Amino acid sequence: MSAGTPMAGKGITAHVTGLLALALIAYLAVDRVRSYYRLREFRGPWLAVTSKLWILKCLYYKNTHWELKRVCEEYGHVARIGPNDLVTDDPDLLIKMSAVRSPYSKSEFYSGTQFDLELNHVFSERDEKRHLELRRRLTPGYSGKENPYLEESVDNRILDLMQLIDKEHISVGSDMKPMDFARVAQYFTLDVISDVAFGEPIGFLVRNEDVNGYCHVVEKALPAFEWAAALPMVNQLVRLPGLNKLVMPSPEDKSGVGMIMGFAKDMVSRRFEPHKIDRKDMLGSFLQHGLSRREAETEATLQIMAGSDTTVTALRATVLFIITNPLIYTKLQRELATATANSPPTSPVVPDSTAKSLPYLLACIRESLRLWPPSFGLMQKVVPPEGDTIHGRFVPGGTRIGHCTWGVLRHKGTFGLDAHVYRPERWLEASEEKVAEMTRAADLLFGSGRYACLGKTVAFLELRKCLATLFARYDITLVDPTNPWKSVAANGMFLQSDMWLRIEKRVDAEALRGE
């Protein structure tokens, strides 16, 4: 008996193991069936029905923006992209979800953008009460109404940009001094937003270098934020004690996001005793409206990162689209020549009062933002617990619904059969009703309602003035038209590099005004 006992024990163990394996398989099968059944009325790629594999495949190949658009075109305006995930290119639904009194809320997607795990910034904050309170305190500063030096700050950084171009990158004849506009434009937007925020630029343009390797590190880090946003499990892992200190940025870091956190911390500390500085800028407005020291540090860091990385894509794209279309370029040059002749500037920088009066320039900016939106992240919202009925179909509570920004902005029904073409004239030729329809859809790239982008006012000011000044002062061409730039989609944004330009002093304005 004793000799046979071990064998019997092994048999029992094998039997139990087999039962457990069968139970696990049964559980997974039931879970997959439940996942499918939950959103069975919505079609989508077969790989997305019961797993995250479809969206992970898009992240791996860095074509999420195109794939989301394709899915909405193939499966309908509300399509399935995951076990509990839908996506939509319906402007009305997107506006409804973000309305001030909407019962929808932010999903875990936003938590993946958090860089300080102990305190949410306004974008990552999912507690609706605190989010609305943060927006209330931040809005006056972002609007520019409490910063009398807003335009002056932008002017000074444009002057730095012009000085860099004039000194290092003016080509004459065969003497060519190419400039990587992708990198220099990044320096410009970083210096602008830090100056607007703190009254002091970081100094990328003056030094003409990637200060402490910030740009390089951020380009490497952004894909990690993307995976964390798509996979809540990743975001939970990095919060584990010990691991978070290894992977998350710190104000003590000498480069990358941590360097910006340290810069913001230092700037905020100057507003407190013993060497308190009072300054009417964004930070001053934040503190005046009740942000704590820690909150100001976190919001200032977000401001620099988000304010530069999105605006720079709009700046690069607008320059590229204009200089690669001779008809558009000529129209814009003539508009600028006429405007600057009628009201000669007191500064080399075109004043915003003039830039705002240039309809063709504004149409070019609008069209660039539409065709190449700086941000295209899913920005998923959660259906309220009681569920919702969308397009006649019930959606269970807790379902995540994401934005298909690329689909909204290239929708032929809204923007015409040539929606895939860069044509600024569409904004000038359409009726008032059509322009209103297009604007309503196009503005969704900035979010809407209680989730609308706070930095929109500053971004447009920056784009208008910089583009007007560059095209009024210089003739700009691509060094290699067959290879204009390298552009990669990451974290719902674009990372561009190697945009090499040949820049010359502009020919006489009188010649441009001639027919």
> Which has the closest alpha carbon to 335: 459, 467, 430, 426?
467
- Dihedral of alpha carbons 470, 475, 480, 481, sign: positive
> Which has the closest alpha carbon to 483: 496, 469, 494, 498?
498
Q: Which residue has the tokens 């964390």?
A: 228
- 3 state SS for 372-402: CCCECCCCCEECCCCCEEECCEEECCCCEEE
Entry field: residues in the chain: 515
CB 135 within 8 A of CB 149: no
275 φ/ψ angles, rounded to the nearest 5 degrees: -110, 60
> Which has the closest alpha carbon to 162: 457, 456, 487, 476?
476
Cα–Cα distance for residue pair 43/143, rounded to 1 Å: 42
Tokens of 38: 């939950």
Cα–Cα distance for residue pair 56/309, rounded to 1 Å: 23
Tokens of 51: 């797993």
Q: Report whether the peptide linkage leading into residue 274 is cis, meaning its omega lies within 30 degrees of zero.
A: yes
Distance set, CA 366 to CA 8, 104, 360 (Å): 77, 29, 10
506 φ/ψ angles, rounded to the nearest 5 degrees: -65, 145
Helix, strand, coil: what percent of the chain each, to 5? 60, 10, 30
Cα–Cα distance for residue pair 325/350, rounded to 1 Å: 23
- Give the number of other CB atoms < 10 A from CB of residue 125: 20
Strand-pairing partners, residue 496, are: 487
CB 187 within 8 A of CB 194: no
Residue type (1 letter), 371 = L
3-state SS, residue 82: strand
Q: Does 453 belong to an annotated binding site?
A: yes
Binding residues: 453
Annotated binding site for heme: 453
